[in-house]
């Protein structure tokens, strides 16, 4: 199924403070770019992360990872391509590719679990599930 889901693309401009003393984007910042990718993918479905949280469901990162191929530099305009590759009643898995002018810089994934405000597993909101199913 994963292969058939469309990727969502968003652009990110590298900020000064995101670059380390090697002159390249600090590896940890890619997790922030990934987050922008999935935030915008959800927004494109008509759902905001913020509204989900404000309605009492937290989407907690339980697993993440990244591989780095080529460095990004200050002021580069990056493309974050995000795919929702799997989801169930509780979990969603997103995969990412960050590129610049068609060159792949990094790939990664995050698994999010839906919980209540106490951290107990909780079904994803029906509205969100429906929209994901319609993809």
CA distances in angstroms from 14 to 10, 22, 71, 74, 93, listed in the order given: 13, 15, 12, 5, 25
Least distance from its own copies to the Cβ atom of residue 47, Å: 12
Q: Is 86 a catalytic residue?
A: no
**Residue 88, phi then psi, degrees to nearest 5:** -130, -150
53 interacts with its own copies by CB under 8 A: yes
- The residue from 2, 6, 46, 61 that contacts its own copies (CB under 8 A) is 61
**Residue 59, phi then psi, degrees to nearest 5:** -110, 100
Our CB check for its own copies shows the closer of 37 and 87 to be 37
Binding site for its own copies (CB under 8 A): 15-17, 19-23, 26-29, 31-32, 35-36, 39, 48-50, 53, 58, 60-68, 71, 73-75, 119
């Amino acid at each position: 199924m994963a292969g058939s889901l469309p990727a969502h693309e968003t652009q990110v401009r590298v900020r000064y403070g995101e670059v380390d003393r090697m002159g390249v984007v600090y590896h940890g910042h890619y997790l922030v770019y990934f987050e922008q990718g999935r935030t915008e993918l959800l927004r494109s479905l008509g759902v905001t992360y913020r509204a989900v949280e404000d309605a009492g469901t937290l989407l907690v990162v339980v697993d993440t990872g990244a591989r780095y191929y080529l460095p990004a530099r200050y002021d580069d305009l990056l493309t974050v391509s995000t795919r929702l590759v799997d989801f169930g009643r509780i979990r969603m898995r997103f995969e990412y590719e960050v590129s610049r002018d068609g060159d792949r810089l990094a790939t990664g994934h995050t698994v999010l679990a839906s919980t209540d405000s106490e951290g107990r597993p909780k079904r994803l909101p029906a509205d969100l599930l429906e929209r994901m199913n319609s993809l």
